Amino acid sequence: TKSTTTSQSHEHNHEHHADDCQDDDCQDASHDHSHTHDHDGAESASCSDPTCTDPTHSHSHSHNHGDDSSCQDPDCTDSTHSHDHHQHSNSEHAGIQSFVYNARRPFHPARLQSFLSHFSSRSTDTVDKNPPLLHLSPETRHILSHNILRSKGFCWLANSHRAATYWSHAGKSFELSLFGSWWATLPRQQWPPQVVDTVLQDFDDPQHSEEEDDDDDDSVTSQKRTVGDRRQNIVLIGLGLREGGTTQTLITEALDQCLVTDEEWEEFWNHRFEESE
């Protein structure tokens, strides 16, 4: 089953005792010149002292591409990392920004293949061949092939009501891979108690049920249907992706074209439980 997305954090817990002497030139033997590192947890065990040579300390750093995270490594040259410093980030100066695409309908596999064909290099193992072309302007096609540097997240394809697909793209490398099943496919009594609150944050309705009979009532319209944690949730990182800007708008419109239409949605919904195990 699909678990909650692992979130990498960028934390450096490098504590100096209040009584420690921080003067690098101090020769007074009575002063404490030691430094300690907090290793209480795997995520917070990194040492941020650039001069530390202790091989038992972790000097690695990871990056969370969420809105509230930023990379504080001054030597980091990865253009996809956020280097925000008081609203004057190196990334912003370079025109590199990000946004999250969200939707609660599945992608039509063939149209998604058409979208991906505008990336520099794409794997087609998990989508249909010979897709119809999307209606994309020359400007949109140029943006898809030149502006998107990296993208990652989870997506939902209309060839499966069960499978959660992982979307991973960096530079010329792209992969769609089966990640597991959506949490909604698993009876709630089988969920680990410690993840319930977190999982429900991804649901469109906490009361969502997978019962086949739930939508037999004609009063349940397509607008009232719930899909649990099934969704498109893709972070796109690249050039000129300013919120409300033309580039972001054109990318969003192109992805919207990949979603199933109202007619396709009805067909998909009526046969969603016919998928073989």
Instruction: pLDDT band for 9, please (50, 70, 90 cuts).
Output: very low
Would you state the pLDDT for residue 190? 94
pLDDT over 50 (residue 69):
no
Contacts of 69 (CB under 8 A, 6+ apart): 9, 10, 63, 82
- Each residue of 165-177: pLDDT tens digit? 999 999 888 899 9
Please check whether the domain covering 96-206+226-274 is classified as CATH 3.30.1220.10: yes
- For residue 196 the two structure tokens come to 């319930």
Would you state the pLDDT for residue 28? 59
Q: pTM to 2 decimals?
A: 0.62
- Each residue of 217-246: pLDDT tens digit? 555 556 678 999 999 999 999 999 998 899
Domain ranges for the chain, please list them: 63-94, 96-206+226-274
Would you state the pLDDT for residue 210? 87
Instruction: Kindly write down the DSSP assignment for every residue of 197-250, as one continuous string.
Output: HHHHTT-S-TT----GGGG-STT--TTT---TT--EEEEEEEET--TTSHHHHH
Nearest C-alpha neighbor of 63 from the set 185, 150, 189, 178: 150
Contacts of 167 (CB under 8 A, 6+ apart): 151, 152, 153, 154, 155, 175, 176, 234
DSSP 8-state secondary structure symbol assigned to residue 138:
H
pLDDT over 80 (residue 200):
yes
Instruction: pLDDT band for 268, please (50, 70, 90 cuts).
Output: very high
Would you state the pLDDT for residue 2? 52
Instruction: pLDDT band for 276, please (50, 70, 90 cuts).
Output: low
CA 252 to chain CA mean position, Å: 16
